[in-house]
A and B are shown apart, each in its own frame.
Chain A
């Protein structure tokens, strides 16, 4: 291959040229100033800096300073890189900037070049957690596929059908990035975020997802939401990539702890558990252990979750008719102690199948009427169709409150014993235990 060297002509110091030079210097100076504005403490200024810099970038893309090369679409990559470096800062959380930047990612060309630039910006060694957090949040926003509307930013028309969004290139970039990321040291927060990104964005595009198995297994042991997310990952692996994981149900079982109701991931857990236990070929004592454990948890759970649990247990019994012995003991009779062992880690050994769902029976005395009615399902014959949990999974106490208000019962009733001044009514407790003076 021959490279024709064209000797550079010495630039003629004309006035026009000088002016051009001056303008360019000014431009560079402005650019630098805008970039420094990213470090400003005010969020407003930072956001403004981002939008300004992106505007400049767009303009430069449309009207390039240098002669346009062979590329049909030109984006000044060095400038883009600088902007991204500012966004992926290791000093401050830049969520607002990332959210703002999402607007630009709707353009195919911008998305593509960001993917292209990103591997070079990925830290090779262990970065600090702020950087990781920013990076993961940013990654969460990035799409792998091109947008539905093929729009481009840096072309004069705004619409350019010529631009070719090369998905394979993007995937390669993604894999490159992921290989770096997985090696970083993660704090619990970033670990969680990493799993979210993995599950929602990355997993389907990875070349060798089975390599993640170890990572997921390690995550599974962390506990809390992290393990829940890992569980979901493993479920996908099992489902799609034929992963065989021996003790998965014990893991799932151990995840049902009272704390779970107070995390954001509660609906996800129920959703997953529903999926895992949807198979009708599971051993009965295993499913019974789940049902029994859930019932125990219902004794401490918030009201809205008790309703979910009741439905869940109902569905389990519907799927596994063998569990009916939990509601309808074959012999009857009495016992002094619940045969179920709550502390046992292994669901198969928990002896749940010999127990009964006394907890649900207890919950029929719940103070909230709709919880109490939800618990009455054990008295009635089971329906032929499963309960639909999707509606109640996201419900909160507010929903229950609103529902009670909407009930709009016309019946009015006042307390039967009049409380007099010294409030000595029959079930008066506050005045017994509290001193007012």
Chain B
């Protein structure tokens, strides 16, 4: 179709364009008159070339439609398959070349059967390919250049012999020689020369070869002289250059063992444990000990890749000395063991120099990585080390090194329940190492499960009745915390959801009895939250609900018994721990401490000292009646007070001491707050109302410092009147060009983007259809014109034929008539 938007070929376009421009006939241009003139509006359709475009369309139709029409109703047709015939790009010459190339290639098509038909180019009978190796150059040119002279006869000789010399030269002497002699002489001469030449040539060849070989011998000598020339130059180079060179080529870092990835470390640790396990089981075979994980051990391999069985045999073959010493003598390759042995020996030798070896042992010790930055007193370190040594000893003696993952919570409980807290620490450590996520695909899930189990375990150990129980519970807890933290690190999301679930559950329990403090495990969980999660965040998924929980308890729960007081104090300590870093303020904690102080004020009948609930205005529970001036007990609070019991003087002192300590911390924390003095002002009243005589000196001092602190806040504070931040000054008005909106009369419908798109497409479709119809109409007109032309042509032909026939007939008739007439005349 004509209307198709095929791009015309570029070359033809290029050739056409200047052509049209040149031929722009002013009579052909039709100018479209504008009804309204708009300034700056670009009009594409201001002029048209009707004639040109019509001609173009006609031409196109001729090429397409007419051709098609011609072939209309034809069963077959001629196709021009000559090369390059349909291609417009090719010139006539190109076509010829292409055709010729095709022909040639066809001609040269190699037949696989015709072997002889190979064209080999030769030079002097040799194939070019052979010559081109250029192996022996000399032979050829020698012959070619000198061949004429050598092979052929002398010039004079030829002159004389062939042409007889001349008239003048014919003398008697010469003439004496017969012709035969002459020929013989000629041949001999020629042969002699050839032989000479040959000899000479061979000699030179020989000499050349000799020279070549000698040159090769000489070559190293030549090189040597060159190198000896270079070295003195290097020596001459000055110091600066040397150092630069040195620095340049200096090794920047020595290759060493790369850092081990976490996975590798985990794997190594596990292997180590297995190794240790293997050895202990080997020992235990002697001691008639049996462990659960015995079977697992047989599967393990030591670090050298030796099977376990072999090693056992070896050990069994040996006479095993008392365990520890034996192993130390063996110098086992385990790092931690070494460190232990070091510790041991040093502990035995001299305890005082342990401090020096602290860093060494600690760096080697992988089990307890305490932060050395912490200011730990040397005594504490020593105690620590001693304790650890004991732990290690014990653990090594009795604990298996590898653990299967417990299938259920009960199994884990069984594993841990009856062990001491330190040993629980070890067991868990090994359990986690053996099940590190990098060691197995489902270990991650297992550890998630272990996390849940541990939370349950904490819940269970908190069911305590006696003082021993509670201290064990807390020490166990403190041993569990690092592991829980590790586990949480491995899958933080899991830790969040689990701890949050626990909090939810505990809060649900608490809701049933809002006025009583819940059980001790709640304290443990809240402490755990502060250990595992960041307490300084403004809002945290787990920590915030925990604070809400604490806040609620401190606000609501009645404070009557010793347990209540201790529980509340523990919570307040927790609040301090939660809020210290971000210096956040929780009123209920301060209220609670106020209440504790209030309890220590002896209430006279008339004067009421106010206190917020949940405390009672008349409570005298903590009033210290006996004189404890001389008491020397440690004033640190004890967790055992969390159990039910009587309020004794010791407890009273400790509670008051603890609350004053906490208050002091709070005071320093909140010193920056605007209303800090208002928060603590009532405390001053309470402190003044507490009779100090009965308390020990330490408490008195604490109170005094607390009082001073509050006074300091009062005197130091500078209250800035609150002001709202001033709004930014408005920018001056700028004289920008005033832009007016132009309203055109076109109505623009407000419609959605999809709808607008669709309308646009519909509009386009309409226009396209119109255009197509127009084209079809023109096509029809073209074809009918063709038909009519054809008709007219055929009619004309027919007419001509008829005319011719008629004229022939009339001629014939006329001839007949003339004949007739003649006949008549003859008659």
CA distance in complex: A334, B720 (Å): 4
Q: Are B551 and A397 in contact (CB under 8 A)?
A: yes
CA distance in complex: A400, B580 (Å): 22
Q: Are B549 and A401 in contact (CB under 8 A)?
A: yes
CA distance in complex: A419, B376 (Å): 15
Q: Are B496 and A420 in contact (CB under 8 A)?
A: no
Question: For residue A359, which residues in chain B have a CB less than 8 angstroms away from its CB?
Answer: 674-675, 678
A326 at interface (Cβ–Cβ under 8 A)?
Answer: yes
Mask of A411-437 contacts with B, CB within 8 angstroms, 1/0: 111111011111111111111011111
A127 at interface (Cβ–Cβ under 8 A)?
Answer: no
B488 at interface (Cβ–Cβ under 8 A)?
Answer: yes
Mask of B541-555 contacts with A, CB within 8 angstroms, 1/0: 100110111011001
CA distance in complex: A319, B492 (Å): 49
Q: Are A437 and B370 in contact (CB under 8 A)?
A: no
Q: Are A327 and B724 in contact (CB under 8 A)?
A: yes
Q: Are A404 and B544 in contact (CB under 8 A)?
A: yes
B434 at interface (Cβ–Cβ under 8 A)?
Answer: no
Interface residues of B in 561-576 (CB under 8 A from A): 570, 573-576
A296 nearest in chain B by CB position: B678
Question: For residue B489, which residues in chain A have a CB less than 8 angstroms away from its CB?
Answer: 414, 418
The stretch from B107-115, B582-590, B748-756 touching chain A is B582-590
A331 at interface (Cβ–Cβ under 8 A)?
Answer: yes
A18 at interface (Cβ–Cβ under 8 A)?
Answer: no
Partner of A419, one of B482, B638, B715: B482
B500 nearest in chain A by CB position: A405
B300 at interface (Cβ–Cβ under 8 A)?
Answer: no
Q: Are A262 and B573 in contact (CB under 8 A)?
A: no
Chain A contact surface mostly? loop
CA distance in complex: A103, B535 (Å): 54
Question: For residue B675, which residues in chain A have a CB less than 8 angstroms away from its CB?
Answer: 299, 338, 358-359, 361-362
Q: Are B721 and A335 in contact (CB under 8 A)?
A: yes
A316 at interface (Cβ–Cβ under 8 A)?
Answer: no
Q: Are B478 and A302 in contact (CB under 8 A)?
A: no
Question: For residue A420, which residues in chain B have a CB less than 8 angstroms away from its CB?
Answer: 368-371, 482
Interface range, A side: 35 or more
B531 at interface (Cβ–Cβ under 8 A)?
Answer: yes
The stretch from A165-173, A243-251, A365-373 touching chain B is A365-373
The stretch from B200-208, B608-616, B765-773, B796-804 touching chain A is B608-616
B511 at interface (Cβ–Cβ under 8 A)?
Answer: yes
Q: Are B585 and A334 in contact (CB under 8 A)?
A: no
Q: Are B720 and A412 in contact (CB under 8 A)?
A: no
Q: Are A425 and B531 in contact (CB under 8 A)?
A: yes
Q: Are A367 and B584 in contact (CB under 8 A)?
A: yes
CA distance in complex: A218, B537 (Å): 51
Question: For residue A357, which residues in chain B have a CB less than 8 angstroms away from its CB?
Answer: 722
A332 at interface (Cβ–Cβ under 8 A)?
Answer: yes
Q: Are B504 and A369 in contact (CB under 8 A)?
A: no
Q: Are A429 and B370 in contact (CB under 8 A)?
A: no
How many Å from the CB of A266 to the closest CB on chain B?
A: 12
Partner of B636, one of A361, A426, A428, A435: A435
Q: Provided the pairs A338-B678, A359-B678, A433-B661 are in contact, do residues A369 and B538 lie with their beta carbons within 8 angstroms?
A: yes
Mask of B53-68 contacts with A, CB within 8 angstroms, 1/0: 0000000000000000
**Chain B CB within 10 Å, residue with most, of A334, A369, A424:** A369
Q: Are B674 and A367 in contact (CB under 8 A)?
A: no
Interface range, B side: 35 or more
Q: Provided the pairs A296-B678, A299-B675 are in contact, do residues A372 and B538 lie with their beta carbons within 8 angstroms?
A: yes
How many Å from the CB of B776 to the closest CB on chain A?
A: 64
A303 at interface (Cβ–Cβ under 8 A)?
Answer: yes
B702 at interface (Cβ–Cβ under 8 A)?
Answer: no
Chain B contact surface mostly? helix
CA distance in complex: A361, B478 (Å): 38
Mask of A311-341 contacts with B, CB within 8 angstroms, 1/0: 0000000000000001111011111111000
CA distance in complex: A90, B170 (Å): 193
Mask of A345-388 contacts with B, CB within 8 angstroms, 1/0: 00000000000111101110111110010000011010000000
Interface residues of A in 168-212 (CB under 8 A from B): none
A403 nearest in chain B by CB position: B548
Partner of A358, one of B527, B579, B661, B674: B674
How many Å from the CB of A436 to the closest CB on chain B?
A: 4
B301 at interface (Cβ–Cβ under 8 A)?
Answer: no
Q: Provided the pairs A337-B719, A367-B585, A433-B573 are in contact, do residues A398 and B674 lie with their beta carbons within 8 angstroms?
A: no
A216 at interface (Cβ–Cβ under 8 A)?
Answer: no
A281 at interface (Cβ–Cβ under 8 A)?
Answer: no
Mask of B261-290 contacts with A, CB within 8 angstroms, 1/0: 000000000000000000000000000000
The number of inter-chain residue pairs (CB within 8 angstroms) is 237
Q: Are A336 and B719 in contact (CB under 8 A)?
A: yes
A409 at interface (Cβ–Cβ under 8 A)?
Answer: yes
Q: Are B539 and A369 in contact (CB under 8 A)?
A: yes
Partner of A363, one of B583, B585, B717, B720: B585
Interface residues of B in 715-766 (CB under 8 A from A): 715, 717-725
B577 at interface (Cβ–Cβ under 8 A)?
Answer: yes
CA distance in complex: A332, B721 (Å): 5
Q: Are A356 and B722 in contact (CB under 8 A)?
A: yes
A407 at interface (Cβ–Cβ under 8 A)?
Answer: yes
**Chain B CB within 10 Å, residue with most, of A296, A333, A337, A365:** A365
Question: For residue B579, which residues in chain A have a CB less than 8 angstroms away from its CB?
Answer: 367
How many Å from the CB of A287 to the closest CB on chain B?
A: 17
A28 at interface (Cβ–Cβ under 8 A)?
Answer: no
**Chain B CB within 10 Å, residue with most, of A332, A397, A424, A433:** A433
Q: Are A335 and B673 in contact (CB under 8 A)?
A: no
CA distance in complex: A328, B581 (Å): 30
Q: Are A262 and B613 in contact (CB under 8 A)?
A: yes
How many Å from the CB of A322 to the closest CB on chain B?
A: 15
Q: Are B723 and A329 in contact (CB under 8 A)?
A: yes
Q: Are A427 and B370 in contact (CB under 8 A)?
A: no
A258 at interface (Cβ–Cβ under 8 A)?
Answer: yes
Q: Provided the pairs A334-B719, A334-B721, A362-B675 are in contact, do residues A262 and B612 lie with their beta carbons within 8 angstroms?
A: yes
Q: Are B471 and A302 in contact (CB under 8 A)?
A: no
B256 at interface (Cβ–Cβ under 8 A)?
Answer: no
How many Å from the CB of B615 to the closest CB on chain A?
A: 10
Interface residues of B in 466-498 (CB under 8 A from A): 471, 474-475, 478-479, 481-482, 485, 488-489, 492-493, 495-496
Question: For residue B493, which residues in chain A have a CB less than 8 angstroms away from its CB?
Answer: 412
A221 at interface (Cβ–Cβ under 8 A)?
Answer: no
CA distance in complex: A419, B533 (Å): 10
A301 at interface (Cβ–Cβ under 8 A)?
Answer: yes
Partner of A435, one of B374, B504, B541, B639: B639
A29 at interface (Cβ–Cβ under 8 A)?
Answer: no
Question: For residue B425, which residues in chain A have a CB less than 8 angstroms away from its CB?
Answer: 421
CA distance in complex: A421, B638 (Å): 19
CA distance in complex: A422, B653 (Å): 27
Q: Provided the pairs A299-B678, A358-B675, A362-B675 are in contact, do residues A430 and B532 lie with their beta carbons within 8 angstroms?
A: no
A72 at interface (Cβ–Cβ under 8 A)?
Answer: no
Question: For residue A365, which residues in chain B have a CB less than 8 angstroms away from its CB?
Answer: 583-585, 673
Q: What would be 7 A-B contacts, judged by CB atoms less than 8 Å apart?
A: A300-B587, A300-B591, A405-B500, A411-B541, A414-B533, A433-B573, A435-B636
Kindly list 14 other residue pairs between chains A and B, CB separation below 8 angstroms, not including A303-B588, A413-B540, A414-B489. Answer: A300-B587, A301-B587, A326-B722, A328-B722, A332-B723, A333-B721, A334-B720, A365-B583, A398-B552, A412-B493, A420-B370, A422-B370, A424-B376, A430-B573
Point out residues on B near A: beta carbons under 8 Å: 368-371, 374, 376, 384, 425, 471, 474-475, 478-479, 481-482, 485, 488-489, 492-493, 495-496, 500, 504, 507, 511, 527, 530-535, 537-541, 544-545, 547-549, 551-552, 555-556, 570, 573-581, 583-588, 590-591, 610, 612-614, 634, 636-639, 658, 661-662, 665, 673-676, 678-679, 715, 717-725
Point out residues on A near B: beta carbons under 8 Å: 257-259, 261-262, 296, 299-303, 306, 326-329, 331-338, 356-359, 361-363, 365-369, 372, 378-379, 381, 397-398, 400-401, 404-405, 407, 409, 411-416, 418-431, 433-437
Closest 6 CB pairs of A and B: A329-B721, A358-B674, A262-B613, A397-B552, A369-B539, A367-B584
